[in-house]
Amino acid sequence: MLNKGQSEEELFTFLSRKRREDLDHDFILSSMCTIPHSVAVRAHCMFMETNLGDPGLFPGTYSIEQLLIRRFGALFHCPEAGGYATSGGTESNIQALRLAKVQKCGITSPNVIVPESAHFSFKKACDMLGLEIRSVPLRKDYRMDADGAAGLIDKNTIALVGIAGTTEYGMVDPIADLAKIAQQHELFFHVDAAFGGMVIPFLDRPVPFDFALPGVTTIAVDPHKMGMSTIPCGCLLTRDPTMLHTLNIDTPYLTVKQEYTLAGTRPGAPVAGALAVLDYLGAEGMKAVVAGCMKNTERIIAGMETLGYPRAATPDLNVATFVCPKELVPGPWRVSWTRKNHLRIVCMPHVHAGRVEAFLTDMQKNRTR
């Protein structure tokens, strides 16, 4: 702590310098977050001091959260779905498994079945909740093997997890098959659509992944990824509108007497930002954004293959992966590498056509050098 406060000018000179150390989005090809939409930023600023942790003080903001859940419920074919705004996919996944555990509270050594491609947030969730994690190997096409999942189910299995838009390869697991298996075994079935939930519904040919499938219990979707909202905003949706109340704990001195959320204080600003984007763009606007991202994904795959770097997978969504030596990616570009050492590029909205061409040109220069 400084003894004497700094001048505002001195302080903001320092902050600006620090901010300039951050990378320019023009070169970020590795991220599932993007530059927030301008309407999200405007809404965020309006709701800066709102706290959804004490909703009685902010009834307007709370009703926006409810509206956001209603929008996603309708988009995911269950208009009456319950849910709330989380801090992102990690919290949604933790809370989904917490719900599963509460439903099957009689089981003493519970296990959860997830694909090998599951985001590492499931490891955190299982660690915190004392759940054994059973990982199902992927098929050759990087999707979860539904038969493999069925083979791991036993009397202690409390939940099955499928991913609609995997972090590393952009694949959608066979959610319809998994939903059937979950129904047959009366299992809680959580779909992690943190990334894909804002992509799949807007594709020309959407694959089934949501509450239209009777076996799906809960869905995670992140407006702060493809929803272009400000950070942090995720949503957890439950088919049963009352299910979240099974997590209720008493909060005697708040404006509400019980809460089921994981966080206490929760920002209303990014929630307003998320709704702003949805209502500003509408389904038509989102389709255009998604179509652009998919087109850029196809272009980057075609361009890289022309340069001699074959795709590692044919993705369902806007994540492109390649067989390519690490040293061939030029400096300013930030890409990521999968666990199998494939070059990974996420074609988020900020990775527009011009950036894709610039990247391909730099890759070509590096190759011929």
Q: Could you give the CA distance from residue 62 to residue 84 in angstroms, rounded to a whole number?
A: 10
Q: Note whether 121 binds ligand 0PR by CB under 6 A.
A: yes
Q: Note whether 33 binds ligand 0PR by CB under 6 A.
A: yes
Residue 225 CB, nearest approach to ligand 0PR (Å): 7
Q: Could you give the CA distance from residue 204 to residue 141 in angstroms, rounded to a whole number?
A: 21
Q: Given the complex with ligand 0PR, which of 103 and 121 has the nearer CB atom?
A: 121
**Residues from 179 through 208 that contact ligand 0PR (CB under 6 A):** 192, 194-195
Asked if residues 323 and 310 have their Cβ atoms less than 8 Å apart, the reply is yes
Q: Could you give the CA distance from residue 258 to residue 147 in angstroms, rounded to a whole number?
A: 41
Q: Note whether 173 binds ligand 0PR by CB under 6 A.
A: no
Residue 346 CB, nearest approach to ligand 0PR (Å): 8
Residue 323 CB, nearest approach to ligand 0PR (Å): 20
Q: Note whether 32 binds ligand 0PR by CB under 6 A.
A: yes
Q: Note whether 31 binds ligand 0PR by CB under 6 A.
A: yes
**Residues from 265 through 284 that contact ligand 0PR (CB under 6 A):** none
Q: Could you give the CA distance from residue 363 to residue 236 in angstroms, rounded to a whole number?
A: 40
Asked if residues 239 and 206 have their Cβ atoms less than 8 Å apart, the reply is no
Binding pattern for the stretch 77-96 against ligand 0PR, x by CB under 6 A and - elsewhere = -----------xxx--x---
Q: Could you give the CA distance from residue 10 to residue 133 in angstroms, rounded to a whole number?
A: 50
Q: Note whether 115 binds ligand 0PR by CB under 6 A.
A: no
Q: State how far the alpha carbon of 152 is from the alpha carbons of 99, 139, 155, 165, 307, in Å.
A: 21, 15, 10, 22, 42
Q: Could you give the CA distance from residue 233 to residue 86 in angstroms, rounded to a whole number?
A: 6
Q: Could you give the CA distance from residue 313 to residue 146 in angstroms, rounded to a whole number?
A: 19
Q: Note whether 235 binds ligand 0PR by CB under 6 A.
A: no
From candidates 37, 44, 101, 119, binder to ligand 0PR by CB under 6 A: 119
Please report, as ranges, the residues that interact with ligand 0PR according to CB under 6 A.
Answer: 31-33, 88-90, 93, 119, 121, 163, 165, 167, 192, 194-195, 222, 234
